[in-house]
Every structure is written in structure tokens, then in C-alpha cells.
Structure 1
Amino acid sequence: MGYLQRRTDPSRHSHSRPFTWAAATLHQIAGNIYCCAAGRSPASRPLRRLLLQLVLPEIAAADVAAGRAAGNQSTMASNSNAGSGAGGGEQSAVQMLNVVRVIPPNDDPKWPLWRYVQKVAKTGGGQGGNAKIICRLCNRDISGSYSRVKSHLLKLGGGGVKPCPKVTIDVLIQLKGEQDRADASSNMPNNIPLPTDGNGSTRKRKASAIEESFDVDSRSKLDALIARMFYTAGLPFNLARNPWFRQAFMFAANGKLAGYVPPSYNKIRTSLLVQEKTHVERMLQPIKSTWSSKGVSIVSDGWSDPQRRPLLNFMAVTEDGPMFLREINTVGDTKSKEYIFQKLVETIDFIGAGNVVQVVTDNASNCRGAGLMVEQKYPHIFWTPCVVHTLNLALKSIFAAMNEEDPEYEHCNWISEVSSDAQQIRNFIMNHSMRLSMFNDFSKLKLLAIAETRFASQIVMLKRFREIKEALTLLVVSPRWSDYRDERNIQEKAQFVKEKVLNDLWWDKVNCILDFSEPIYSMIRAADTDKPCLHLMYEMWDSMIEAGVCPCPLYRHTP
């Protein structure tokens, strides 16, 4: 209030009526804060009363000092009523505006404040919007356009017009609400007619009795509205298969919901979200009640969200299925074994140490260290490495280039060479639109851009190469491949791709890799599931080792 007192000091102004400007300014500040902070919901009434008690004395003092005692007596009376009960002030403001509101013949929803003034005569000979106007609230003459009407009724400064003395805070709230709604609606896209509305040039066919009985026109219009929602919002078409999407419209169509309006943006992300979360937690309570009798396995893994933020999640797994517990944003934190151990202990304490049977993580060194620390702290809890992650690390070791000093380097280095050649062929074709278009002409299958984080990514890539072998062969022997030139070194790269694709020995190596790695890949697919399969791992492991020992005729070609 110190700032307002300094601004309303008579010694700081040379006007004959120094408090007139201050009163209008206070009205404007109070109205803006009141509209933005208080709103119109019942829950905001205490905040509204407090705002009125703080600001209205300043407004009343400024108005009285300005010499407008007669008008301010009614203003202060209505404001004191609003301070004791905000609902009465709003109701009187609505009644007042209903009395003076006159809808003009050419009413435009974009300019709602024209309804509270009267156009007497148009000024100037141009086509502009300037006119002589009389305010219906204070009967004051105004000369100008809609911007001056807006400045007059909404008490905006800098409009070259005095504010309306009859506009109290409650009236100002109503007027600002109408203007805000008009501004919001004006920003909406143009009302494009639906396909079912027709273009008006053709005469609409009369509906048959069967069409009228089933209300085919209304059904078609609703279908068009739903389709327009998908197109304008960029929603995926798979949303139409969502059972809850279909149930929502079926419930609305079969129920007596005349005048129903879908929930707003804020309601969906606040109260309805909290309601759904509470409901899910209530449904999970029967599963949590079995933890003490059946035991729980805590599963932890790290991943990244679409914003590339590193996250660490924890889940509780029982025979009834997995249950998400929590996730931790690890931005700025080092995922050391001590850090992971601390988060595991917090999760174990949340579930109850007596309910936890084992902790499952991947086989990285930090996770392994954290698992061993958990076993030391809780002797009855076992640490179990993830089978799928362990097998994937084994595949990566097979495909990775070995040290040349290793005695097995001479026999196994060809595996990493074949994998590298396949990646070069894929990148050469996919990194240019023309080459990719040429490939698509010969193949219905697409070249896969396999992420390195996917399990057995090299195996998946080589499997796809074997499926498109014929298409690659037709591509490199076609005249378009020989005639196409776009870079200086294109000939060398194209020749490399052609040599590998037409080399039978290279394809024999690909087949050999897929054959001896098939047992590992099959076990990864069998274990990478939500179904309990720990009791099958030992037998699958023995079968994998036995099936992996297979003769490979390729060794006769290796140096």
C-alpha cells in the first residue's frame, strides 16, 4: 500500500482534482488482481473477501477525496456487502448489467462492450469505426471507437477517456469476464463447415423414413466432428481403438445428459487425475495385502524419458504381476553403487524388509556392487542379475572387436567385421532419399534402424538382411544403381556395397552367425517377458549351451 499512498499524495500532482486519477488507478489494479487471483469459483471466495478488505479502503478514500461522495456512498455500500459476502456483490452487479444491456441489431460477439453504450451518430466521413457514444451506465459522452469504450468501461489508462464512475469492482469483474471470453473465442480457428453440412449449392435430399428413425444425419455429423477433432489435434488414429474412448461416447449417447460439456483442460490434469490415481491405489491394495504371505521381488532399471533425462525406476513383482512403485530423476547424480544401494534400501524399507525376497538389477558393475551390499545388510534378501541383460552382454562380447593379442582373435574377429559391413550397407542406403527410394522399389520390407539399447540389436539387423537379400541383389545389379552419382566418393562406397551383396562367402558368414546365435536369441525372447519364468531358466540355459555347439562349415574359409 506504500506505493499507492505515494501515488495518491496531493502534493505530487498539480491537477485541480488530484485524487480522480488515483481512484481510477486503484479501481483498475483491484479489478485486474481480483479477476486473475480470485476467479469465480466458490473455493476462491475467502481470497476474494481478503482482497476486498485490503484494497477497498484505499479506493473509498481516494474517491471521497476526489469529491464524488454521492456516487461513492453506493459504491462503498455495495463493496462492504461484497467484503462481508462476495456473492451479494456479484449478484447486484449482474442485475445492474442486465438492466442496462441492449443487444444492437448488428451485434458482434467479438466486441461485447458495445452492448453497454449507445451510438448516437457516426463522426467523420470515412469508413472507420469512430462515432459519438453515450455510456448507458454513467450517461457520459464519448467520441471514438471501440478502444475508447473499452478504456472507459474497463478503467484502462492511456485511452484518452475518463473511466466510468459507475463501474464498481464487481461490475468490472463481469465486464472483464465478457471481454476475456470474447478475446478467447476470437483466437479460435474459423468455423469451417463440416462435410455433412454441404456447400449450399445443391439441394439436400429428403431423408427416408428409416434414416429419420435412426437419425442418420445426427450420427453422420457426430462422426464428422470426431474426425475433425482427430485431424486438427494431430491425434493418432489408434486412439479410435481405445476402449475407453468408445465407451465414453456410447455412455453419452445412451444416457440422459442433455447439456453435458466435456471436462476442461484444468479439470483433467488436476482433480480428475487425482481421482484416477486414488482409484488405482485402491484397486492395488488387495495385491499389497499379499506381500507378507507371498513375498515380493524388487526390480530396478535405468532408462531415459523423451527429454533425455536419466531416470531410475523401481517395481514390485509378485505372482499377480508387476506393480510400479516410484521413479527417481538422477540428473546431476552419479549412479555409483553407494547411490543405487541407498535407493534400494529406501524401497525395501517402504515395502518392508520382511516382505522382500530378492532384488533384481542388470549385471553392470555398479548394480552388481549395490546388490552385494544389499545382501550384506539383509542376509535373507538375494541379489539376482537380469538374465536378459546378461545374455545381451554375452552377445555384445561376441560381436565386439577383440584384442589382437587374444589367441581367439583370429577365429572370431570376422563376426565383428560382418556386423560392421552390414551397418555400412544400411547407412549407405538409408542416409540418402534417392538410394532409399531405389531400394523401396525392390523390397516391401524396410531396412531397420535398430537402437543400440535394444537387446540383441545386431542379431535383429542381420535377420532383416537375410530377409531382404534378394532385394539387395536386384538393387546393386540394376542399371539405376550404376548410373546414379551424387558424391565424389560415391563410386567407392557403391562398389563396396555391391561387392558385399554379391559375395556368397559374406552371406555364408551372415548365416553362420545367425545359426550359432539362434539359441541365445531364442532364450532372450523367452525371458524378456512379464510372465514368471525363473523356474525355466536352468533348463533353458542347458538347452541353449547344447544347441549352441553346432558345426559351422565356414571355418574352412577363414584364414
Structure 2
Amino acid sequence: MGRYKVRKDDITWDHCTMVEPPNKSYLKCNYCGEKFQGGVYRMKHHLARTRNDAKLCSKVPDNVNALFDKMLKDKENEKAKQNDEIFDLGGNDEDNFIDVNAPRPPKRDHMGGGSVGNRGRNRRNIDKIFSKKANQTTLNEHWKEEREKAIRKIARFFYCNNIAFNVAKDFFFKDMVQCLTKFGLRFKPPSYHELRVPLLKKEVAYVNDIMQDFRDEWKKTGCTIMSDGWTDIAGRTLLNFLVNSPKGTVFLKSVDATEVVKNAELLFTLLDEVVEEVGEENVIQVITDGARNYVNAGKRLMEKRKHIF
């Protein structure tokens, strides 16, 4: 992963301080007080709240957050533009073709105006132009061939592992591929153990951080608990619990309720546990199925928790 060069005039320094001067890698956020290694690069992501290799800042002002978010996006767009200029496959292929055997412009009389040094430099510039365009054609053809090899291997991975084609449209698939291309040839894929233990733990922590953002919002705006029941191919009745608020809707958990849905008292107990998990003070209402057992369970819930409807 690339790193930004540390400059004294970087505006990031207006929003953080060095914990152990002159160590510019160990910084403290001026807003939330969070301390971490990684220098201004991680601090930018911390303030932009990108969830990219840095904990989110919980107290960054909206205008500062927007500033760093735009800064990072502009940096990514600049890199993408540079890559497009190197491997420009758009337009007419004829535009990229140069006949290297075509006659060159005639040499000017050495006795003409201008210094010999200038004429020599001009000639070298012309040679560079012809060489660059000819090399561009070769690069483009090579790029096409290498891309064909790469996408066939990706396709084979999809086919052999029975992965749905819709996954290719997924944001995280595209994000993964972009990260791989930025890393380069030395990239080593994660091992079975890494996927199963350390990476899984990190992803759980990452999701918990996201959930905490929503929980903080529930305290401010309140929320609605929604249950959605369905039957799987094994005949089990599953209940999905979701929580909706102005910030958005998040999946809370799924429960095997095959036996529970048959009994209003058991349903009440389950709903009551979910309300407790979300926080009674945060819940405005609970939305469930309209079947009799759900209605009776809902009445029991409102009797216990008076402000919920």
C-alpha cells in the first residue's frame, strides 16, 4: 500500500499532534484523542472515516470529514487517470499505430539558422515521439494479452467454486481486484489459516465498529425493530431481525424459530430479548408478522415496555 510523503505544509498537521516528537509516525487526533501509528496517511483515513486501515474518528466535524474524504478521492482519481494515460485502449486503434518505416522529415541544412545544439535537441525530441508512439502500440497489445490471461483465471475461479456471476458486480469484488493491482507482483494471497482465524477476527471487529456507529445513532434518533420470517428448504422457520433508523437499516441476527412461532409466550420472550439487545430506551416500535401469535406476543411486549408500540 502506498504512503503519502510527509510534508511540513500538509494540512493534516492542523488536525493532529505528535505524541512523541519528533516521531511523525505516532500521532494523536485533535478531535477524539485516538492515538495510533501510521503517520499522516492513517490520520487522513481516520478523519475521512473511510474504514481503510484506521479506526473511525467519532468526533470529527462534518466539514473536516468532507475535506479529507474529498482529498483521498481526488488522490485515487489522479492515480486512476495516470494509469489510463499509460494504458490507453480507447478510441480508434489506428490512432495508436505508427509506421516506424515511414520516411522521416528531411534534414535541414546545417548552415541554416539556429544553433547546432538546438537542432540536435529537436531531432532527439522527434525521435522520442516516434519511439514513444511505437512503444505505446506494443504496450497496448501486451496489456490486452495479459488482461486476457488474468480474466480467464478469474473466470475459472468463479466456475470451479460455483460462484454466482452477480458477485462480479459486487463492490467488494471490485475493491479487492483494485487492491491487488496496486500491490503488484509480490502479493501473496491469504492462507487457509489466515482466512479462518486472524482475518476473520479482524473482519468481526470491523463489522462491530460499523455496528457501533449505528448504535450511537440509535441513541440520538431512536429506531424500529423489524422481524421477517421465512421457511428454508429443510422446513425450518427462520426469523431475521433488522433495525431501521434514519442512518439506515442493518441486519441484527437470524434465529431458528421453528418451535417459537407456535407459541405466543415464546415469541414474546424472543422479541423481549431482541429489544434488550438493541436497548429499550432506543426502541420506538417493533414490527412483526400479523399472525395471531405475533399479535399476542406484541401485546405482552407493550404491557412490559410501556413506551413501545
d(CA) in 2 for partners of 1:266, 1:352 = 36
Find 1:242's aligned residue among 146, 170, 175: 170
d(CA) in 2 for partners of 1:243, 1:307 = 31
Q: Cα distance 1:364–1:226, how it changes in 2: closer, same or farther (>3 A)?
A: same
Q: Cα distance 1:290–1:223, how it changes in 2: closer, same or farther (>3 A)?
A: closer
Unmatched tracts of structure 1, length 5 or more: 1-207, 383-559
Q: Cα distance 1:226–1:351, how it changes in 2: closer, same or farther (>3 A)?
A: closer
Taking structure 2 as the reference length, the TM-score comes to 0.50
Q: Does 1:232 align with 2:175?
A: no
Deviations 1:515-537 (A, max 9, x none): xxxxxxxxxxxxxxxxxxxxxxx
- Tell me which residue corresponds to 1:380: 307
CA contact (8 A) 2:217 2:247 kept: no
d(CA) in 2 for partners of 1:212, 1:307 = 57
**What is the correspondence of 1:185-200 to structure 2 with a 5 Å cutoff?**
none
Alignment size in residue pairs: 174
**What is the correspondence of 1:275-290 to structure 2 with a 5 Å cutoff?**
275-290=202-217
- Tell me which residue corresponds to 2:281: 354
DSSP 3-state at the match of 1:367: helix
**What is the correspondence of 1:469-548 to structure 2 with a 5 Å cutoff?**
none
**What is the correspondence of 1:69-80 to structure 2 with a 5 Å cutoff?**
none
Deviations 1:231-276 (A, max 9, x none): 3333332222223222322322232441x23223443344323322
- Tell me which residue corresponds to 1:109: none
- Tell me which residue corresponds to 2:150: 222
Find 1:251's aligned residue among 155, 161, 179: 179
Taking structure 1 as the reference length, the TM-score comes to 0.29
Q: Does 1:338 align with 2:261?
A: no
d(CA) in 1 for partners of 2:262, 2:201 = 32
Q: Does 1:292 align with 2:219?
A: yes
Q: Cα distance 1:247–1:357, how it changes in 2: closer, same or farther (>3 A)?
A: closer
Deviations 1:423-472 (A, max 9, x none): xxxxxxxxxxxxxxxxxxxxxxxxxxxxxxxxxxxxxxxxxxxxxxxxxx
d(CA) in 1 for partners of 2:231, 2:193 = 28
Q: Does 1:213 align with 2:145?
A: no
Q: What displacement does 1:381 show? A: 1.2
d(CA) in 2 for partners of 1:324, 1:244 = 18
Paired amino acid for 2:176: A
Q: What displacement does 1:211 show? A: 5.1
Q: Cα distance 1:257–1:304, how it changes in 2: closer, same or farther (>3 A)?
A: farther
Q: Cα distance 1:222–1:292, how it changes in 2: closer, same or farther (>3 A)?
A: closer
CA contact (8 A) 2:222 2:283 kept: yes
Q: What is the CA RMSD across the aligned residues, in angstroms?
A: 2.4
- Tell me which residue corresponds to 1:366: 293
- Tell me which residue corresponds to 1:321: 248
Deviations 1:190-228 (A, max 9, x none): xxxxxxxxxxxxxxxxxx844542433322221222222
Paired amino acid for 1:330: A
Q: Cα distance 1:250–1:352, how it changes in 2: closer, same or farther (>3 A)?
A: closer
d(CA) in 2 for partners of 1:328, 1:341 = 14
Q: What displacement does 1:373 show? A: 0.7
Q: What displacement does 1:338 show? A: 0.2
Deviations 1:266-315 (A, max 9, x none): 43344323322221220232221132332222212322345442212222
Instruction: Give me the identity figure in percent.
Output: 33
DSSP 3-state at the match of 1:276: helix
- Tell me which residue corresponds to 2:194: 267
DSSP 3-state at the match of 1:268: helix
CA contact (8 A) 2:225 2:241 kept: yes
DSSP 3-state at the match of 2:189: coil
Paired amino acid for 2:171: P
Q: Does 1:310 align with 2:237?
A: yes
DSSP 3-state at the match of 2:242: strand
d(CA) in 2 for partners of 1:290, 1:237 = 35
DSSP 3-state at the match of 1:323: strand
CA contact (8 A) 2:224 2:286 kept: yes
Unmatched tracts of structure 2, length 5 or more: 1-133
Deviations 1:379-404 (A, max 9, x none): 2111xxxxxxxxxxxxxxxxxxxxxx
Q: What displacement does 1:230 show? A: 2.6
Q: Cα distance 1:350–1:231, how it changes in 2: closer, same or farther (>3 A)?
A: closer
Name the one with the larger strand percent: 2
Higher relative contact order by CA 8 Å / sep ≥ 6: 1 or 2?
2
d(CA) in 1 for partners of 2:137, 2:148 = 11
Q: Cα distance 1:276–1:306, how it changes in 2: closer, same or farther (>3 A)?
A: farther
d(CA) in 2 for partners of 1:213, 1:284 = 46
CA contact (8 A) 2:224 2:285 kept: yes
DSSP 3-state at the match of 1:224: helix
Q: Cα distance 1:363–1:221, how it changes in 2: closer, same or farther (>3 A)?
A: same
CA contact (8 A) 2:261 2:293 kept: no
CA contact (8 A) 2:223 2:283 kept: yes
Structure showing greater Rg: 1
Q: Cα distance 1:279–1:305, how it changes in 2: closer, same or farther (>3 A)?
A: farther
Paired amino acid for 1:351: V
Q: Cα distance 1:303–1:248, how it changes in 2: closer, same or farther (>3 A)?
A: same
Deviations 1:80-111 (A, max 9, x none): xxxxxxxxxxxxxxxxxxxxxxxxxxxxxxxx
CA contact (8 A) 2:239 2:257 kept: yes
Paired amino acid for 2:200: L
